[in-house]
Amino acid sequence: MSAIDYILARSLPLVPKPIVRRVSRRYIAGDGLREAVVAVRELNGEGLMATLDVLGESVTDRSLVEAAAREYGEALRSIIEARLDSNLSVKPTQFGLKIDFDLCLEKVRGLVRLAREAGTFVRLDMEDSSCTSPTLDLYRRLRAEDLASVGVVLQAYMRRSLKDVKDLPEGANVRLCKGIYIEPPEIAYRDRALVNKNFVHLLEALFDRGFYVGIATHDEELVWEAYRIIERRKLLPASYEFQMLLGVAEPLRGRILRDGHRLRVYVPFGSHWYAYSLRRLKENPRIAGYILSSLFRGRLS
């Protein structure tokens, strides 16, 4: 982390809450499900798919696990009723991964079954490295129960990810991203060039195993690498998708769509937007940099 990044990240809590709100509005659909439905409908109208994320993570109280399961159930009902082209992304710690593995399994299983009945899908987001093995176990358990309507995430900065590709069950559905948490160098690559190189290796390894891949990046270099791999392997658009975060790299998003690829936008929403924004920003000072520079460039309205 550079000194400037460090200062930017630490000064964010001093930015008045309404300003954080205005800046993060671009990246978060709103406080409630209603706003999220409007955002997804708009994206669908532009030919983009979506994945809904009810903000919240690291739950330490069982009653909050119930609340998260309820909120996700409501989000799923809205997807069905409004006929949205969207699936769900969940953080296992929001479903109690850090309290009780079996409780988490039971709650995520319930949601995945409902999603399967509705013809949609649940992605298990990947959190910090303390969650990697339990999240992959959770995924394997659900797949072993023949629940194909569930997918997982691998992070290109993790040194273990290539081995994780080998250990995934047949027919896995994997989102590949760089990884957003700050991890020690013993377990994670820090150098951007190395992370990018590993991203490409992992993408090849995932396609080698015949998996469906969500290519989650806004990095043009990686998008063009992915194009090259897709073309060389003559992959059909139905065997992969690109994925991006709401409000990020919209011109590139349009370009990918026009080039004939499918693209899904990650749409976070919910009352925990402030804690979420600050945590994300502190975890990744580069993003703090984007936020503060947009502040100075006057892109707040």
- In the complex, which residues of this chain contact ligand FDA (CB under 6 A)? 125-126, 153, 155, 177-181, 216-219, 243-245, 248-249, 266, 287, 290
Q: How far is the CB of 63 from ligand FDA (least distance, A)?
A: 25
Cβ contact 78:37 at 8 Å: yes
By beta-carbon proximity to ligand FDA, the closer residue of 106 and 128 is 128
By beta-carbon proximity to ligand FDA, the closer residue of 71 and 225 is 225
The CA distances from residue 185 to 6, 33, 159, 194, 277, in Å, are 18, 39, 9, 12, 25
The active-site residue out of 109, 123, 143, 175 is 175
Q: How far is the CB of 245 from ligand FDA (least distance, A)?
A: 5
Q: How far is the CB of 51 from ligand FDA (least distance, A)?
A: 7
The CA distances from residue 273 to 109, 185, 298, in Å, are 26, 30, 22
Cβ contact 233:18 at 8 Å: no
Structural tokens at position 53: 């994320």
The active-site residue out of 125, 143, 164, 253 is 125
DSSP, res 12: G
263 contacts: CB under 8 Å, gap ≥ 6: 48, 49, 241, 242, 243, 244, 253, 256, 257
Structural tokens at position 207: 């396609």
The span from the first CA to the last CA of the chain, in angstroms, equals 30
By beta-carbon proximity to ligand FDA, the closer residue of 79 and 131 is 131
By beta-carbon proximity to ligand FDA, the closer residue of 37 and 90 is 90
Q: How far is the CB of 153 from ligand FDA (least distance, A)?
A: 4
Q: How far is the CB of 283 from ligand FDA (least distance, A)?
A: 9
Q: At what angle do helices 17-24 and 273-283 cross, to 10 degrees?
A: 80
Pairing of strands 122-124, 173-177: unpaired
Active-site residue, 125 included: yes
Q: How far is the CB of 231 from ligand FDA (least distance, A)?
A: 20
By beta-carbon proximity to ligand FDA, the closer residue of 68 and 287 is 287
| Cα–Cα distance, 110 to 121 (Å, whole number) | 12
Rg (the chain; Cα; Å) = 18
| Cα–Cα distance, 200 to 143 (Å, whole number) | 26
By beta-carbon proximity to ligand FDA, the closer residue of 66 and 255 is 255
Phi, psi of 220 (to 5 degrees): -55, -40
Residues catalogued as catalytic: 125, 175
